[in-house]
């Protein structure tokens, strides 16, 4: 796969970069398989906004030579996976390499530089770490190959490379950031790298509480999921085997273990001065998960110029050209005639219908209400909720003059339950997709398909089980394209839903049946009647962009990180308890419990 089309620039001055952004995955270009889903998209969109707004940032990730995976689906919906191998050698090399010790041996790590170029030409350099170097142990050469592949041992090795080699490489390149942003716990071992710097070559056993605080003063942590399985943890044996005794003991001493496991989230919590969730509700849920720490919220966004369909971009260039420099101008979309927005959206819908015809041979109808549901297939996202009552759905489709539903999504190769869900959707669709109801499942949900779908459907559907959707960002992409959402009130939608204005809430129920019934009610009684009135529908499209597009973007999000987390006017005082105090507190709790 070639990256030759990506413009590369001369190496930017790294000494002036004050913020280092670390992420296990970053979606850098549609052709590069260096991401799996929402987390990597967010990282990429964050850096694209950083480039647009001239932020003094630099980023670190792994090169992932074999990518995540390409999905194929059999006629019964059985998923199979293939590697997506790419060759980074068309990118400029970082020019330096570092050697760290892990698994009791030396491993050399180099990097490739990918430049994210902003609207004014400002560059955010991204260093993609690479351990495939001659002289390294054969196993170690594979460590930067597979995103979320391998076993837990492989994963801990990868996270050690990301955190520890990442920090060293930046220093080697003359880059000495004052803020390190851990995008998810995967990157938390950067704290160990900083701690080793802090004690200047002395044994880690001499590191004090003051040293921990000195590291924490430099670190900012964003947690991304309230699903416990989403927080990486590793056995004590693996920790000792990969990191070695000295580092393992330091992590134990500084309170990074949880339930006797090394927990990446706890490393990040212990070594950060600022912690946030990715939507207001998610911050609160995370606060309950980690009561000893103070957890704030910064609601996610998406990079507008990456996700808005070309015809709409042209309309905005015409009417509010400053939107490319400042997304707050989207509020002024209220000054644009709704019919012009509707016309631009229709072009996106046609493009979607063409893409579907090309991929599947199916011909969808441009004038029929079309719903989109595309996301990582995890059980809590309930892909099949929309099909909970197939008979009712078919009845509604007939009554409202037709309904088209487009699904897409990958299940993690090891997620058997998720793979089962895809087959369930196929099975139900096979039974009821005929006449006025058309249901399709598209293969290999990725950046391009995500864009085509969010730019082309009429309504974006999201059905997570509360409160597991930390934020969700695909609905934001839809909103920027004038597409309302029909969603469970979870994640970002709690903040984005103005009923009958920007979309619709699926009412909370005690069970799947009740929530599906609410979904069908809204579809039949609110959405379809409005869709039948083009002027009213166009007005709704305008609300989506003016109200939600102007807020749920990464320009606004990054501004909030700057003002609250990176360089707050009133610095956050570190109130996280020391390891000793944590010990006392849990002792006190167990006393209370036994009373
Ligand atoms: C935006 C995006 C996601 C994240 O969307 P969610 O709403 O969080 O599920 C995942 N995958 C791709 C390809 C995307 O473009």
| Distance of CA 445 from the midpoint of ligand 1 (Å) | 9
Q: Which CATH number fits domain 304-552: 3.40.630.30, 2.170.190.11, 1.10.287.3510, 3.40.50.2000?
A: 3.40.50.2000
Q: Is the CB of 41 under 6 A from ligand 1?
A: yes
Predicted local confidence at residue 39, as pLDDT: 97
What are 371's strand-pairing partners?
A: 405, 459
Q: Is the CB of 446 under 6 A from ligand 1?
A: yes
Query: Is there a contact between 208 and 264 (Cβ–Cβ < 8 Å)?
Result: no
Query: Is there a contact between 226 and 467 (Cβ–Cβ < 8 Å)?
Result: yes
Q: Is the CB of 37 under 6 A from ligand 1?
A: yes
**Residue 562 has what DSSP assignment?**
I
Per-domain boundaries in the chain: 14-300+568-591, 304-552
| Distance of CA 474 from the midpoint of ligand 1 (Å) | 5
Predicted local confidence at residue 576, as pLDDT: 52
Q: Is the CB of 306 under 6 A from ligand 1?
A: no
Q: Is the CB of 467 under 6 A from ligand 1?
A: no
Q: Is the CB of 447 under 6 A from ligand 1?
A: yes
Predicted local confidence at residue 8, as pLDDT: 54
Q: Is the CB of 301 under 6 A from ligand 1?
A: no
Predicted local confidence at residue 224, as pLDDT: 96
Q: Whose CA is nearest to atom 1 of ligand 1?
A: 474
Distance from C-alpha of 45 to C-alpha of 26, rounded to nearest angstrom:
9
Distance from C-alpha of 376 to C-alpha of 378, rounded to nearest angstrom:
6
CATH (residue range 14-300+568-591): 3.40.50.2000
Distance from C-alpha of 152 to C-alpha of 231, rounded to nearest angstrom:
12
Distance from C-alpha of 326 to C-alpha of 554, rounded to nearest angstrom:
11
Structure tokens belonging to residue 296: 């704030």
Distance from C-alpha of 198 to C-alpha of 298, rounded to nearest angstrom:
29
What are 302's strand-pairing partners?
A: 553
Q: Is the CB of 38 under 6 A from ligand 1?
A: yes
Structure tokens belonging to residue 515: 């929530």
Q: Is the CB of 455 under 6 A from ligand 1?
A: no
Q: Whose CA is nearest to atom 9 of ligand 1?
A: 375
| Distance of CA 96 from the midpoint of ligand 1 (Å) | 34
Omega before 467 within 30 of 0, i.e. cis: yes
Which H helix or E strand runs over 265? helix 264-270
- State the pairing for strand pair 179-183/19-23: parallel
Distance from C-alpha of 536 to C-alpha of 377, rounded to nearest angstrom:
33
Query: Is there a contact between 470 and 297 (Cβ–Cβ < 8 Å)?
Result: no
Predicted local confidence at residue 332, as pLDDT: 98
> Is there a common fold for 14-300+568-591 and 304-552?
yes
Mutate to test the pocket of ligand 1, among 39, 375, 463, 470 (most ligand atoms within 8 A of CB): 375
- Mapped onto helix, strand or coil, the DSSP state of residue 546 is helix
- Tens-digit pLDDT string for the chain (595 aa): 445 445 555 678 899 999 999 999 999 999 999 999 999 999 999 999 999 999 999 999 999 999 999 999 999 999 999 999 999 999 999 999 999 999 999 999 999 999 999 999 999 999 999 999 999 999 999 999 999 999 999 999 999 999 999 999 999 999 999 999 999 999 999 999 999 999 998 999 999 999 999 999 999 999 999 988 789 999 999 999 999 999 999 999 999 999 999 999 999 999 999 999 999 999 999 999 999 999 999 999 999 999 999 999 999 999 999 999 999 999 999 999 999 999 999 999 999 999 999 999 999 999 999 999 999 998 888 888 999 999 999 999 999 999 999 999 999 999 999 999 999 999 999 999 999 999 999 999 999 999 999 999 999 999 999 999 999 999 999 999 999 999 999 999 999 999 999 999 999 998 999 999 999 999 999 999 999 999 999 999 999 999 999 999 999 999 999 999 999 976 555 555 554 555 444 433 333 333 2
Q: Is the CB of 473 under 6 A from ligand 1?
A: yes
Q: What are phi and psi of 313, to 5 degrees?
A: -60, -40
Q: Whose CA is nearest to atom 2 of ligand 1?
A: 38
Structure tokens belonging to residue 400: 């409202």
**Residue 588 has what DSSP assignment?**
H
Query: Is there a contact between 71 and 79 (Cβ–Cβ < 8 Å)?
Result: yes
Q: Is the CB of 549 under 6 A from ligand 1?
A: no
Predicted local confidence at residue 408, as pLDDT: 97
Predicted local confidence at residue 392, as pLDDT: 97
Distance from C-alpha of 172 to C-alpha of 76, rounded to nearest angstrom:
52
């Amino acid at each position: 796969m070639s990256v030759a089309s990506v413009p590369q620039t001369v190496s930017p001055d790294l000494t002036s970069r004050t913020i280092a952004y670390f992420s296990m995955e970053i979606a850098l270009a549609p052709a590069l398989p260096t991401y799996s889903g929402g987390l990597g998209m967010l990282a990429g969109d964050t850096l694209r906004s950083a480039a647009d707004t001239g932020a003094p940032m630099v980023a670190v990730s792994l090169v992932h030579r074999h990518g995540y995976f390409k999905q194929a689906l059999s006629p019964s919906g059985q998923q199979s996976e293939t590697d997506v191998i790419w060759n980074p050698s068309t990118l400029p090399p970082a020019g330096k390499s570092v050697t760290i010790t892990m698994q009791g041996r030396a491993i050399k790590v180099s990097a490739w530089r990918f430049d994210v170029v902003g609207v004014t030409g400002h560059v955010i350099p991204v260093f993609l770490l690479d351990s495939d170097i001659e002289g390294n142990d054969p196993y170690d050469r594979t460590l930067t190959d597979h995103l979320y592949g391998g076993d837990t041992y492989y994963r801990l090795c990868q996270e050690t490379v990301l955190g520890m080699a990442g920090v060293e490489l930046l220093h080697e390149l003359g880059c000495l950031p004052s803020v390190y942003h851990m995008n998810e716990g995967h990157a938390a071992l950067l704290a160990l790298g900083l701690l080793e710097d802090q004690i200047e070559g002395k044994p880690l056993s001499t590191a004090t509480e003051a040293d921990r605080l000195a590291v924490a003063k430099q670190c900012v942590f964003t947690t991304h999921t309230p699903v416990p399985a989403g927080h990486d943890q590793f056995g004590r044996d693996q920790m000792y085997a990969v990191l070695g005794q000295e580092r393992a003991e330091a992590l134990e001493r500084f309170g990074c273990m949880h339930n006797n496991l090394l927990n990446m989230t706890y490393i990040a919590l212990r070594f950060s001065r600022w912690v946030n969730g990715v939507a207001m509700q998610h911050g609160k849920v995370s606060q309950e998960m980690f009561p000893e720490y103070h957890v704030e919220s910064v609601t996610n966004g998406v990079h507008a110029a990456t996700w808005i369909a070309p015809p709409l971009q042209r309309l905005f260039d015409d009417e509010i050209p400053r939107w490319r420099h400042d997304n707050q101008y989207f509020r002024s979309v209220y000054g644009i005639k709704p019919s012009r927005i509707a016309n631009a959206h229709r072009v996106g819908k046609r493009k979607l219908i063409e893409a579907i015809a090309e991929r599947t041979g199916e011909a969808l109808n441009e004038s029929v209400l079309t719903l989109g549901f595309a996301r990582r297939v995890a059980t809590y996202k309930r892909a099949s909720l929309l099909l909970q009552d197939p008979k009712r759905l078919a009845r509604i489709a007939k009554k409202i003059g037709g309904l088209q539903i487009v699904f897409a999504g990958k299940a993690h190769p090891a997620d058997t339950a998720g793979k089962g869900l895809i087959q369930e959707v196929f099975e139900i669709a096979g039974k009821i997709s005929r006449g006025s109801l058309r249901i399709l499942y598209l293969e290999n949900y990725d950046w391009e398909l995500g864009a085509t779908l969010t730019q082309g459907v009429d309504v974006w559907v999201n059905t997570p089980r509360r409160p597991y959707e930390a934020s969700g960002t695909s609905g934001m992409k839809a909103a920027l394209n004038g597409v309302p959402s029909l969603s469970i009130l979870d994640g970002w939608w709690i903040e984005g839903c103005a009923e009958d204005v920007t979309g619709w809430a699926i009412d909370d129920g005690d069970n799947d049946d009740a929530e599906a019934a609410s979904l069908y009610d809204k579809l039949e009684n609110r959405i379809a009647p409005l869709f039948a009135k083009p002027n009213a529908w166009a007005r709704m499209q305008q609300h989506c962009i003016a109200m939600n597009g102007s807020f749920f973007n990464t320009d606004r999000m990054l501004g909030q990180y700057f003002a609250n987390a990176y360089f707050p006017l009133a610095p956050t005082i570190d109130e996280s308890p020391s390891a000793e105090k944590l010990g006392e507190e849990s002792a006190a709790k167990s006393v209370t419990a036994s009373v």
